[in-house]
Amino acid sequence: MPNHVQFSLPAWQRDDDAEDMIHIPLVADHPTPVFSSFKYPPVEPHPMVAHRRRKILRFAKIVIALALAVCAGVAIYMRFARPPRAVVMNPALDDVELPIDRVTSLWGDDFQCLGWRAVAGCDPTGKRAPAADRGCADPITRDMAGYCEVRNRTSGEIYRVMATTCRGIHEHGHFTCDMAKNFTDFSILAATYTHSPPLQVANVAKVSRGIAMSIYQEALPSVYAIVRTLRLHKCKLPIELFYRPSEVSLSNPIVTELISHYNCRLREIRDPLAVRFKTKPYAIYHSQFDHVLFLDSDNIPAKDPTYLFDSPEFQEHGAIFWPDFWQANYSLFNVNKQSLLWQLVDMPFWNTFEQESGQLLIDRRRSADALHKLMFYSVGDIVVGDMLEQLQLVWGDKDLFRLAWQNTSTPYFFVQQPPALGGLYDENSRFFCGVSMIQYDPLGDILFVHRNTVKMTGSPTQTQLITHVQQFTYTTTNTHMYEVGLRGNRLGQKSCYFLPDGVPNVVEGLEKTSISKVEETALQYAIEAGKLIGYEDTKYWGSTLELLEVIALYTFCAFALCFILNFAFFRFYYVEKKLYWFDRYSGKKRKYSTPIVLPRRVSRGVAVVLGIITFVGTACVCFMSSGPPDDVIMNPALDDALDWSQLKIDRVRGLWTDETFQCVGWRATKDCNPNGPRNPSADRGCDDPISHPMSGYCEVRNRSSGAIFQVMATSCRGIDDGVTFTCNTARAFTDFPQLAAAYKQPPHIAFDKRDVAPSHGIVMSIYESVLPSAYAVIRTLRLHGCKLAVELWYRREQIHPGHPTVQALVTHYNCYLREIYEPSATHFHTKPYAIYYSAFEHVLFLDSDNIPTKDPTYLFSTAEYLATGALFWPDFWHPQNTLFNVHKQSLLWQALDMPFVDMFEQESGQLVVHKPKCAAALKKLMFYSGHAPRLLDSLELVWGDKDLYRLAWLNTSTPFYFERRPPALGGLYDPVTKYFCGVAMLQYDAHGDIVFFHRNTVKLTGAGEAPVLTHVQRFTGRDLAAYNVGIQGNRMGQSSCFFLTSDFDVTPMAATPHGALEQTAISFATEGYDLAPPASLLQRWSRYVSHGVVATAVAVAGIFGFVNLAMVRLTTRKFWIQHGVKRKNSVPVV
Q: Is residue 791 part of a domain?
A: no
Residue 1087 pLDDT grade (very low, low, confident, very high; cuts 50, 70, 90)? very low
Question: pTM score, two decimals?
Answer: 0.47
Give yes or no for a cis peptide into 2 (omega within 30° of 0).
no
Name the residue range of residue 690's domain. Answer: 661-741
Q: Is residue 126 part of a domain?
A: yes
Tell me the C-alpha to C-alpha distance, in Å, between residue 811 and each of 15, 271, 278, 1024. 95, 73, 64, 46
* 149 alpha-carbon distance from chain centroid: 38
Tell me the C-alpha to C-alpha distance, in Å, between residue 894 and each of 719, 877, 910, 941, 944. 12, 21, 28, 11, 19
Domain boundary among 741, 770, 805: 741
Q: At what angle do helices 604-623 and 47-80 cross, to 10 degrees?
A: 30
Q: Is residue 1093 part of a domain?
A: no
Q: Do 335 and 483 share a domain, yes or no?
A: yes
Q: Is residue 951 part of a domain?
A: no
The per-residue pLDDT for range 592-622, each reduced to its tens digit, is 444 444 444 445 555 556 656 655 555 554 4
The dihedrals phi and psi of 806, each to the nearest 5 degrees, come to: -65, -45
Residue 362 pLDDT grade (very low, low, confident, very high; cuts 50, 70, 90)? very high
One-letter amino acid at 614 equals T
Q: Which residue has the higher pLDDT, 512 or 565?
A: 512
The per-residue pLDDT for range 239-287, each reduced to its tens digit, is 999 999 888 888 889 998 999 889 999 999 988 888 888 999 999 999 9
The mean pLDDT of the chain is 81
Mean pLDDT score, 799-807: 89
Q: What is the DSSP string of 931-979?
A: -SS-HHHHTT-S-TTTTHHHHHHHHTT---EE-SSPPEEEEEEETTTTE
Residue 1009 DSSP class: P
Q: What is the C-alpha radius of gyration for the chain, rounded to an integer number of angstroms? A: 37
Mean pLDDT score, 390-413: 91
Residue 1082 pLDDT grade (very low, low, confident, very high; cuts 50, 70, 90)? low
Q: Do 496 and 564 share a domain, yes or no?
A: no
Least confident of 505-509, 621-625, 739-743, 1032-1036: 621-625
Q: Which residues of 146-185 are buried (b: 16+ CB within 10 A; e: fewer)?
A: bbbbbebeeeeeebbbbbbbbbbbbeebebbbbbbbbbbb
The per-residue pLDDT for range 689-729, each reduced to its tens digit, is 998 889 999 999 998 888 899 999 999 888 888 899 999 99
Q: Do 974 and 1113 share a domain, yes or no?
A: no
Q: Do 62 and 163 share a domain, yes or no?
A: no
Q: Do 121 and 151 share a domain, yes or no?
A: yes
Q: Do 260 and 357 share a domain, yes or no?
A: yes
Query: Domain of 444: which CATH number?
Result: 3.90.550
Q: Please name which of 368, 369, 367 lies closest in space to residue 319, comparing C-alpha atoms.
A: 367
Q: What is the DSSP string of 415-471?
A: --SPPEEEEEEETTTTEEEEEEEEEE-TTS-EEEEE--SS-----TT------EEEE
Q: Widest CA span of the chain, in angstroms?
A: 136
Contact 341, 390 (CB under 8 A): no
Domain boundary among 741, 767, 790: 741
Mean pLDDT score, 424-450: 94
Q: How many CB atoms lie within 10 A of CB 62?
A: 14
3-state secondary structure 147-185: EEEEEECCCCCEEEEEEECCCCCCCCCEECHHHHHHHHH
Q: Is residue 1123 part of a domain?
A: yes
Q: Do 165 and 278 share a domain, yes or no?
A: no
Q: Do 303 and 422 share a domain, yes or no?
A: yes
Angle at the Cα of 834 from the Cα atoms of 429 and 476, rounded to 5 degrees: 70
Q: Please name which of 207, 206, 128 lies closest in space to residue 160, comparing C-alpha atoms.
A: 128
Q: Is residue 817 part of a domain?
A: no
Structurally, the chain folds into a number of domains equal to: 5
Element (H, E) at 82: none
pLDDT at site 63:
82
pLDDT at site 480:
87
Q: Is residue 1065 part of a domain?
A: no
Contact 248, 217 (CB under 8 A): yes
pLDDT beyond 80 at 1041: yes
Domain boundary among 694, 722, 741: 741
Residue 96 pLDDT grade (very low, low, confident, very high; cuts 50, 70, 90)? low
Angle at the Cα of 45 from the Cα atoms of 39 and 46, rounded to 5 degrees: 120
Contact 652, 713 (CB under 8 A): no
Q: Do 443 and 423 share a domain, yes or no?
A: yes
Contact 161, 183 (CB under 8 A): yes
Q: At what angle do helices 948-955 and 919-930 cross, to 10 degrees?
A: 130
Q: Is residue 1118 part of a domain?
A: yes
pLDDT at site 422:
95
Residue 130 DSSP class: G
Q: How many CB atoms lie within 10 A of CB 941?
A: 24
Least confident of 90-104, 131-145, 221-235, 730-744: 90-104
Q: Do 262 and 136 share a domain, yes or no?
A: no
The per-residue pLDDT for range 936-969, each reduced to its tens digit, is 888 889 988 999 999 999 999 999 999 999 999 9
Q: Do 77 and 111 share a domain, yes or no?
A: no
pLDDT beyond 70 at 588: no
Compute the distance between CA of residue 441 and CA of residue 436 in angstroms, rounded to an integer.
Answer: 16
Q: Do 385 and 482 share a domain, yes or no?
A: yes
